[in-house]
Structure 1
Amino acid sequence: MEVQLSAITGPNPNSDVIDCFEPATRAVLGQVRVDSENDVKEVVARARKAQSEWKHSSFAQRRKVLENILDYILEHSDEICEMVARDAGKTRENALLGEVLPACEKIRWTVKNGERYLRDEKVSSGFMLHKNARIEYHPRGVIGGIIPWNYPFQNMMMPVVPALFAGNAVVLKPSEWVAWSSQQFVKIFHDALKAAGAPIDLIQIVQGFGATGNALVRSVDGIIYIGSCGNGRRVIEASAERIIPVTMELGGKDAFIVCEDANIDQALYAAITGTFLNSGQNCIASERILVHDKIYKQFESLATETVNAFQQSNPLGGARPDMGAMNTPIQLALVEKLVNDSIAAGARLVTGGKRVLTEQGEYYAPTILADVDPSMPIMQEETFGPVLVLCRFHSDDEAVEIANSTPFGLSNSVFSGSKARANSIARRVESGMCSINELGGMTYFVGDLPFGGVKQSGFGRIGGRDGLRSLCHAKAVLDERIRLPFAFSMLPNNPNSYETASAAIRTVYSRKAGDKFSGLKDLMRLRRSKSKDS
C-alpha cells in the first residue's frame, strides 16, 4: 500500500532514496540513492581533476567521443526509447523523434562545426596596425546541468554535447522524476569516453532533490538550468554567491498565430503536434492557438474531429497510441486545475477536460478549450499539458497584442499565405525564437540557431555558435605583427601631451575633411615645436 501511495504522490524529498515508478502503469522501476552535499563535492572534485587533463585534448579526440556516443545511440535506439517510455510515460514514437533524433542532430552539427567556432578567431586590431588581435575560447571548467523530467534522454544530451566539446567536464542533476532512466543513460557517456581514451569522470550524475541541486550550484564553474521560473530564481540566487555564469531556459507560453489566409490544414496539424506531443509537456508547446475570426469556427471543427480520434493508452501496452501518460501526478493536478479554473471563468469545453484511465496511471484526456480570452488563467500561466486553447483575433495588431500579453517569451509560430505579413507579425512578437508556417519548436532542429527565450522565459542561449561559446571564457589577445622598439605609452606627460592627443583623435575620427585637415596641421605644428625644443 505504501508503494502504491508513493507512485501516486511522487518521491519523498525527506528520504535517502528515490522511489521510481512508471507513470503509465505505476509499476515499480526501482530505487536510486540520493547524493548528499558531500557526495556532490566529491563528484565535482573528480570531474575537476578529469577536466584538467581534458582541456588540453585535441578537437579530433573530442569529435571521437561524440562519434562514439552517436554510434551507441544508433545501435541502441530501441532500448533508449523503451527506457524513456517507461520512465516518462510518452509514446515510443515521441521518444524516437523527440529525444533520439535531436540528440543525433546535435552531435552531427557539433562534430561538423564545433572546431570552427572554438578555434582562435582573428579580429581587427583597429588603429594598432603593428599588432595582431585574436579571441581565444577556453573551457570554463566543470559545468553543472540541472535538467527537468519531460525529455529525460535529450535533456541530458543538451548540455553534455557542447560542454564536452568545448573542453569542459559536466555534472548532471536530473529531475527526481526520471532518476531511473538517467542512471542508465550516463553509462552511454562513460563507454564512449573509455573507447576514446578519455577519463570517465568527465561526465557524472548526482541524484536527489532540491538540496542536491543546491550543492551542485555551489560547487561548479557554470550552470545550465532547464526548468520552472521559481526554481530558476533559486539557482540564480545560489550562483550569485560565487558569481558563476548561468544559462536559464525557463517556461514558455508560446503563441501560435493562424491568419485567415493561412493553409488551414498545414496550420492545423502543426498546432495539433505543438499542443499534444508528449502530452503537451514541452517548454516550446503551442499553448495559445490564436485564430483569425474568419476561419475560427472551421479551425475549431477540424481540430475537434482530429483530437476526438486520438488513441490514448500505455505506450508499451501493445497498441500504438497517439498519447501516453503525463509524467508526474503533480503536473496532472496543475493542468486539471488550470482547465477547471478557465472553464469557471467562461471558457467553453469542447472535448476532454478530465482524467482518464485513472486505475492505470497518470492520464489526462486530450482537451480543447474554445472562446478563451487573454485574461483567463490558462492564457497567462504555463499549462505544460495536453490542452489546445483557442482564442479569436480580428487583426494582426490584436494578435500581436495577445501574443505579448504574458510574462513569457520563448517561441512562437505564425501561419499566413503572405510571407511579408507573417514576418511582420513575427518581428513584433516578443520571443527568443519563431517559425514561419512551421511549428515554433522546430528551430531546435536547426543546429546553427541558438535556443532560448526572453522575459521570464530566461536568458543565455543553448545550441549553435552562441551556445557553444557560452561554455567558454572568451580571452582577448593582442600579439605582435611588427616588432617596434616602444610600446603604447601615456606616461610621463609632457607640456604638449594633451594637445597632441586631441589633434590625433580629430585627425582619425572627424567625419568632415576640413576637421581632419585641421587636426593634421596641429599635429605637424606640435611636432615642429617639439623638434625646436629638443
Structure 2
Amino acid sequence: MTIQEYVERGREAMEAIKDYDQAQTDKLVYEAAKIIYQHAAELAREAVDETGLGYYEDKICKNTDTPAAFWAYLRDKKSVGIISENKETGIIEVAHPVGVIACVTPATNPNVTPLGNFMDAVKGKNAIIVSPAPRAAKSTTHTVELIREAMVKCGAPADLIQVLSEVTLANSQALMEACDLVIATGGSGMVKAAYSSGTPAYGVGPGNPPVVLDRGYDLKEAAKMTVTAVGSDNGILCDGDNLLLYPQEEEEKFFQALKDEGVVLFEDKADVEKFGAVLFHDGHPVPELVGKDAPVIAKAAGFDIPKDTKVMGLKIDAVGKANVLNKEIMGPIVVLKGYESFEEAVAMAIQNMEEAGGIGHTAGIFSNDRKHIEYYGERIPVARVLVNQPTPDAWGPSTNGLSPAVSESCGTWGNNILCENVDYIHLINVSKIALPLDVQVPSPEELFKD
C-alpha cells in the first residue's frame, strides 16, 4: 500500500466519525486505553524480547499506568464542537480536528507512545498513522492492531489508527510530508527530519536531567526516589536522572543512603573511567549497552556486581564536557558530583546541560526551601522542573499537575515549538467566535497622556 493510500484511509475514517458527539468520541478514547491495559504484560514481554531495551516488570507498569492516567485526565475534557464560552470576553471556542497525524515512535516505548498519541488524537476526532522504530516494529504493530480491534467493537473504523507495514526512512519521510501534522518522538535527527518535512510538527529534544539535592532534605527519601528515577525501565526514560548534585559535606551519609537502597557505587577515578570507555565510543553511546541491566553494563566494564542490582552510581570530578559520562547514558546509572554552595550546584546543573546535552527537557530538585526551589526554577533552562519527585514523573501522572504525555517537548532550548507536554489540545484547531462587546474604548489621547 502506498503512503497516499494510508492517508486516504485515514481521511475516510475521520469522515465516518465527523458527526460523533462528545460521548461517542470519548468511548473511542476509553476503549483504546482499556485494551492496552488488558494486554499490558503480553505487550511488555514482546517489547523487551524484540528490542532488548528496558526491564519487563517496569514496562508492565508503563502499559497499565499510562492508559489509566491518560483516561483519568481526558475523560472530562471537552474536545467536540463548542468547548468553552466566556461571557465576559464574548469569546466562544470551537474545536475542529487537525486531520491525519503522522506519529513517529521510538523503540524505547513501542506500546505507550502509539497509545498516548492515539488517545490524544482521537479525542479531537483525528486519525493517526504510526511509523514505528524498525527495532520495535513487531511490538508497535501488535499495539496498533489491538487498538484497531477496539475501534471496530465500538462500531468505528479501524483506520482511525494505522501502522506502516514497511518501515523505511523513505516511507517515514513520505508519511510526514503527506499528513497534516507530525508528532516526532525519538532522536534529534528524526525530529529535525520532521521539522524539515514541510508539515507542521511537534518534536522533542534529548533528555539528560540534572537533579540538585538541597541541604536539609531527607537523604533516605532522596536516595529512594533516585533509584526509582534512574532504575525505571533500565534508565531508558529520557526524563530519568543522569547527574545528581549533592552537598559535599553530606557525601558519606548520602552515599550510605544510596547503598541502603541497593545502589552499587564506584568512587575510584580509574574504575569510573572504565565505564566511560565502554558506554561511549567517540562520544556516542554504545548501542549494545543502551537499556541493559546494571550487572551487564558492569561486566562490560570489568566488574562483577550482585545480579539483583538495579542502579549503579559513578562519582565524577567535573560536570559538562570534562567527562563523557555527563552525556545522556540511557542506562541504570546516576552520575554523582558534590557541591559547596547551592548557587554552585545550580550553575553546574546549567553547565552540564549546555555542554553535555539535555537543555530544555527536564530537571529535578529535592528541597524543603521554597526560595531555593524558585531560584532553581527561574534559572534552569527546562520545560519541566520536578520538585521532590522522581524526574520521570515529568510524563504527568496523577501525583502532579502536568498533563499526561508520551511526548515531552523542550521549547526553543531543545529546538521545539512547544515548551510543555504534548496534549490533546495541541491536536485540535480551536477557532474563536467573537461576539461584540458593549464597552467604552479609551481614546489614544487618554491612553498616552502623561
**What TM-score range do you get, normalising by the shorter chain?**
0.7 to 0.9
C-alpha displacement of 1:292: 1.5
* Aligned match of 1:449: 402
Distance in 2, Cα, partners of 1:227 & 1:427: 28
* Aligned match of 1:388: 334
Encode CA deviations 1:434-490: one digit per residue, 9 max, x unaligned: 121111221323365244323127342675xx72221112222235799xxxxxxxx
Asked whether the 8 Å contact 2:237–2:392 carries over to 1, the reply is no
* Aligned match of 1:417: 368
C-alpha displacement of 1:299: 2.3
Structure with max Cα Rg: 1
- Structure 2: 5+ residue runs without aligned partners? 266-276, 287-295, 303-308
* Aligned match of 1:98: 62
Distance in 1, Cα, partners of 2:129 & 2:56: 27
Asked whether the 8 Å contact 1:400–1:425 carries over to 2, the reply is yes
Distance in 1, Cα, partners of 2:237 & 2:93: 37
Comparing 55-64 with 178-187, greater Cα deviation is found at 55-64
C-alpha displacement of 1:392: 1.8
Amino acid in the other structure paired with 2:48: A
Asked whether the 8 Å contact 1:88–1:152 carries over to 2, the reply is no
Distance in 2, Cα, partners of 1:163 & 1:250: 21
Distance in 2, Cα, partners of 1:109 & 1:117: 16
Distance in 1, Cα, partners of 2:226 & 2:95: 40
C-alpha displacement of 1:386: 2.4
C-alpha displacement of 1:60: 0.9
C-alpha displacement of 1:353: 4.5
Asked whether the 8 Å contact 1:169–1:203 carries over to 2, the reply is yes
Equivalent position to 1:52, from 7, 11, 15? 15
Equivalent position to 2:140, from 159, 182, 190? 182
* Aligned match of 1:371: 316
Comparing 73-82 with 260-269, greater Cα deviation is found at 73-82
* Aligned match of 2:181: 222
When the two structures are superposed, what TM-score results if normalisation uses the length of structure 2? 0.81
- 1:427-442 matched pairs, under 5 angstroms: 427-442=378-393
Distance in 1, Cα, partners of 2:20 & 2:326: 47
Distance in 1, Cα, partners of 2:115 & 2:35: 13
Asked whether the 8 Å contact 1:462–1:468 carries over to 2, the reply is no
C-alpha displacement of 1:404: 1.5
* Aligned match of 1:251: 206
Is 1:401 matched up with 2:360? no
Encode CA deviations 1:129-187: one digit per residue, 9 max, x unaligned: xxx43222211100111011111111111211111111100001111111111121112
Q: State the aligned residue count.
A: 408
Amino acid in the other structure paired with 2:29: L
Equivalent position to 1:470, from 414, 426, 444? 426
When the two structures are superposed, what TM-score results if normalisation uses the length of structure 1? 0.69
Is 1:136 matched up with 2:97? no
Secondary structure of the equivalent of 1:446? coil
* Aligned match of 1:31: none
* Aligned match of 1:26: none
Encode CA deviations 1:56-107: one digit per residue, 9 max, x unaligned: 3211111111222233234333323322332344333201222321222112
Distance 1:434 1:506, change over 3 A: same
Asked whether the 8 Å contact 1:356–1:365 carries over to 2, the reply is no
Distance in 2, Cα, partners of 1:181 & 1:139: 28
Is 1:281 matched up with 2:236? yes
Secondary structure of the equivalent of 2:423? helix
Comparing 116-125 with 426-435, greater Cα deviation is found at 116-125
Comparing 117-126 with 425-434, greater Cα deviation is found at 117-126
C-alpha displacement of 1:298: 2.8
Asked whether the 8 Å contact 1:461–1:470 carries over to 2, the reply is no
Asked whether the 8 Å contact 1:139–1:167 carries over to 2, the reply is yes
Amino acid in the other structure paired with 1:443: A
Amino acid in the other structure paired with 2:9: R
* Aligned match of 1:496: none
* Aligned match of 2:274: none
C-alpha displacement of 1:414: 0.5
Secondary structure of the equivalent of 1:234? helix
Distance in 2, Cα, partners of 1:298 & 1:335: 30
Equivalent position to 2:219, from 230, 240, 264? 264
Encode CA deviations 1:363-398: one digit per residue, 9 max, x unaligned: x99543212412334365322222211122221211
* Aligned match of 2:377: 426
Asked whether the 8 Å contact 2:227–2:263 carries over to 1, the reply is no
Amino acid in the other structure paired with 1:60: A
- Structure 1: 5+ residue runs without aligned partners? 1-37, 127-131, 311-331, 342-350, 358-363, 483-502, 516-534
C-alpha displacement of 1:307: 4.4
Question: What do you get for the CA RMSD once the two structures are aligned?
Answer: 3.3
C-alpha displacement of 1:289: 0.9
